[in-house]
Structure 1
């Protein structure tokens, strides 16, 4: 891993720093800490501010495919209706929650790709999540809901997401203009309630989902 850094750095110590920082960044994206792996005898630490907004930068850096941008012109009438309503709420910054119901093959993923691309093309943060890893991998920048929102596997009425108000993830959720959760009917209601409580908490808001625009999708 150090070879690329050596091309621009003439100091072995600086190269070593950049390699460790790169490893740490990757591990942090999976909600892990580099020091858990004991790569060195002493703890490895970096500037806290460097990682505080990294998640936002990562989301803003998600690739936007031209085919997804142009797909908004190929939506059918029902898809176009959902697209227009959601986009209107995003651009006017109005809080609302939607559920898009549709059986397999009705073009829900096509619609979501168009929405995500349009919002991201305006340099806004749009989060794509799904209840399973397979579907999350279909959406650019997609994550499972458990990973993105730090949802526990075991749930009850007191279930909460493990997200600190001072964390980088909290900053990302505050910055998000659109949250999409695919396959919502596959998860437990306590998970959705936990997201609601967590987003309200980090935004200091009593409004549903902390005033965020959330689009659930699925097929009951």
Structure 2
């Protein structure tokens, strides 16, 4: 649990508190009290998730990387056009779908990093997912789509994503103003 939170937060104390809060919630779901165990005290000021699903709390806790915020000033002409179009619709809260296409090495991830940082710097929620763990690691707060959306790794008859309309994942999708799904290209040799 600690490693999951450490990926998105620099504060060791905050990471510890988030883990303890999760443990408390798990224990409560089993009708147990965290105070029965020799664990550090929980600072409830870090439990901003009282009525907020854990998934939203985690994404909202990702701070904008200052270097990535500056990327928007160095976009090329095509990246700038995509950035401006996407941000104009995010700013007016207009639901839209964009498909960014291009061969490997054309700057898609660079654009994604600029978008994620800009939106997060405005205290809005942006979710970064990809089909590749390697690509997820280079996007701030990036996760695999399988992990984020509970997509099964094997596809069999009758298998589907395992979150409900009332789940934290569904609420995260509704609360997000940007969701990036980068389908990492795999080259066959």
Same fold (TM over 0.5): yes
Offset of 1:183 from its aligned partner?
1.5
Aligned to 1:163: 163
State the Cα deviation string for residues 101-144 of structure 1 (Å, max 9, x = none).
11122111111110001111111100000001111111111110
Offset of 1:158 from its aligned partner?
5.7
Normalising by the residue count of structure 2, what TM-score does the alignment of the two structures yield?
Answer: 0.71
**Larger strand proportion of the pair:** 1
State the Cα deviation string for residues 174-197 of structure 1 (Å, max 9, x = none).
1011100011667xxxxxxxxxxx
2:146 equivalent to 1:146: yes
The 3-state SS of whatever aligns with 1:50 is coil
Select which of 9, 19, 28 maps to 1:22.
19
The 3-state SS of whatever aligns with 2:177 is strand
Aligned to 1:203: none
Normalising by the residue count of structure 1, what TM-score does the alignment of the two structures yield?
Answer: 0.61
Is the Cα contact below 8 Å between 2:129 and 2:145 reproduced in 1?
yes
Structure 2 vs 1, CA of residues 91 and 21 (structure 1 numbering), >3 Å: closer, same or farther?
closer
In 2, the alpha carbon distance for the partners of 1:151 and 1:141 equals 18
- The runs of 4+ residues in structure 1 deviating greater than 6 Å are none
Offset of 1:166 from its aligned partner?
2.1
Unpaired runs of 5+ in structure 2? 1-15, 35-46
**Larger helix proportion of the pair:** 1
Unpaired runs of 5+ in structure 1? 1-18, 36-41, 187-220
Aligned to 1:53: 53
In 1, the alpha carbon distance for the partners of 2:168 and 2:183 equals 26
Aligned to 1:137: 137
Aligned to 2:107: 107
Is the Cα contact below 8 Å between 2:132 and 2:184 reproduced in 1?
no
Offset of 1:80 from its aligned partner?
0.3
